Amino acid sequence: MATILAIETSCDETAVAIVRDRQILSNIVASQIKIHQQYGGVVPEVASRQHLETINFCIEAAFQEAELDWSAIAAIAATCAPGLVGALLVGMTAGKTLAMVRNLPFLGVHHLEGHIYAAYLNEPELEPPFLCLLVSGGHTSLIRVRDGGQYEQLGATRDDAAGEAFDKVARLLGLGYPGGPAIDKIAKQGNPQAFILPEGRVSKPEGGYHPYDSSFSGLKTAMLRLVQKLEAEGEELPIADLAASFQETVARSLVKKTIACALDYELKAIVLGGGVAANSALRKHLQEAATQHNLQVYCPPLNLCTDNAAAIACAAADRFNRGETSPLTLGARSRMAVTEVAELYL
């Protein structure tokens, strides 16, 4: 059993959590969304400065909520890649400094490994092997998890990530930032069959399609053309129908690829992770399709799908229990594949 204090500052959430293996003892998330909303997206410099102002309060709050002091902590973890480097550096520097001052081991954590581990929290029976559909603002991947910490990418997006597509289409529909939750909300009042849109498929040069890869650029263009056509006809835009149809198309396309991949690789369990895992249509369709094929689905609760430090702590706890730690010389990296994650540990 390991009690880990983890810090997550890779984008626009300053998050600190204390987790004992898979049990959340505290989970503090200070969202910067309101600050970035006025710019229509995350401004990296503003994010770093905001993390710096908030981080110490979040650490204090995590101890208060857990009703613990430093004597309970076995190791400190911080997200080290991928993400905005300036933002990552704030959490990394805080984590490494505390590790030195408190004489505790330090672990850098890959942000996507955190998203995969969100499903482990409060889920004692989940164990690899499983297939993870990881859908966030920056990534869309199908990852086979063979064993704890061992990842193989089976599918990816060729252009935008799913969350990025939600954010861009939301901007097109005048729904603001972040787009995913806004589309999800208004789509509840719309008809998902109102417009037939193209599901992103990636062609092979020799013919046929890559079965597990996604593409959202065609769908995005189709949405733009549709909006332009409706505007040219002088009609008021049916925002709810447009949002519902777009969301339905993304969800169905992701579910189709995920189920095919799980069946082909004979994986009985599917784990959903990343901010877009909070999407209600995706959760519903995945659950329905999995039930049809006798597959088990693990969807983290909504607050653990988007960025948080509890999932980072949970990933770190697994590594720490296997005897892994990171050197204090570890740097922050804006890009890094989850398949390279072993490089972070001694």
- Among Zn ion, ligand KG4, none, residue 245 binds (CB under 5-8 Å by kind): none
Give min distance, CB of 106 to Zn ion, in A. 21
179 near ligand KG4, judged by CB under 6 A: yes
184 near ligand KG4, judged by CB under 6 A: yes
**Contact string 262-301 vs Zn ion (x = CB under 5 A):** ----------------------------------------
All residues at 6 or more sequence positions from 163 whose CB lies less than 8 Å from its CB, including other chains: 135, 136, 137, 138, 178, 180, 274, 275, 276
76 sits in the region (left: phi over 0; alpha: psi -120 to 50; else beta) called: beta
Distance of alpha carbon 300 from alpha carbon 27, whole angstroms: 14
- The correct pick among 12, 160, 241, 307 for binding Zn ion (CB under 5 A) is 307
> How big is the site for ligand KG4, counted in residues (CB under 6 A)?
19
14 near Zn ion, judged by CB under 5 A: no
Instruction: Give the start-end residues of each E strand in the chain.
Output: 3-8, 13-20, 23-31, 75-81, 106-110, 130-135, 140-147, 150-156, 202-203, 209-210, 269-273, 296-298
Give min distance, CB of 38 to ligand KG4, in A. 17
Pair type for strands 75-81 and 140-147: unpaired
108 near ligand KG4, judged by CB under 6 A: no
Closest CA to 193 of 233, 231, 247, 232: 247
Question: Which position has the token pair 């890649």?
Answer: 81
CB-nearer residue toward Zn ion: 50 or 136: 136
274 near ligand KG4, judged by CB under 6 A: yes
CB-nearer residue toward ligand KG4: 105 or 178: 178
- Among ligand KG4, Zn ion, none, residue 179 binds (CB under 5-8 Å by kind): ligand KG4
177 in Cβ contact with 171 (< 8 Å): yes
Q: 178 preceded by cis ω (within 30°)?
A: yes
Distance of alpha carbon 246 from alpha carbon 183, whole angstroms: 9
Contact region with ligand KG4 (CB under 6 A), list: 42-50, 134-142, 190-198, 317-325: 134-142
11 near ligand KG4, judged by CB under 6 A: yes
Give min distance, CB of 315 to ligand KG4, in A. 14
Distance of alpha carbon 131 from alpha carbon 241, whole angstroms: 32
Give min distance, CB of 332 to Zn ion, in A. 15
Distance of alpha carbon 26 from alpha carbon 7, whole angstroms: 12
Contact region with ligand KG4 (CB under 6 A), list: 217-225, 271-279, 292-300, 314-322: 271-279
Distance of alpha carbon 22 from alpha carbon 122, whole angstroms: 6
CB-nearer residue toward Zn ion: 253 or 306: 306
Distance of alpha carbon 38 from alpha carbon 135, whole angstroms: 25
**Contact string 303-342 vs ligand KG4 (x = CB under 6 A):** ---xx-----------------------------------
- The correct pick among 50, 136, 247, 326 for binding Zn ion (CB under 5 A) is 136
Contact region with Zn ion (CB under 5 A), list: 83-91, 152-160, 199-207, 302-310: 302-310
Positive/negative CA dihedral, 165, 171, 175, 177: positive
**Site residues (vs ligand KG4, CB under 6 A):** 11, 136-138, 163, 166-167, 178-181, 184, 274-276, 278-279, 306-307
**Site residues (vs Zn ion, CB under 5 A):** 136, 307
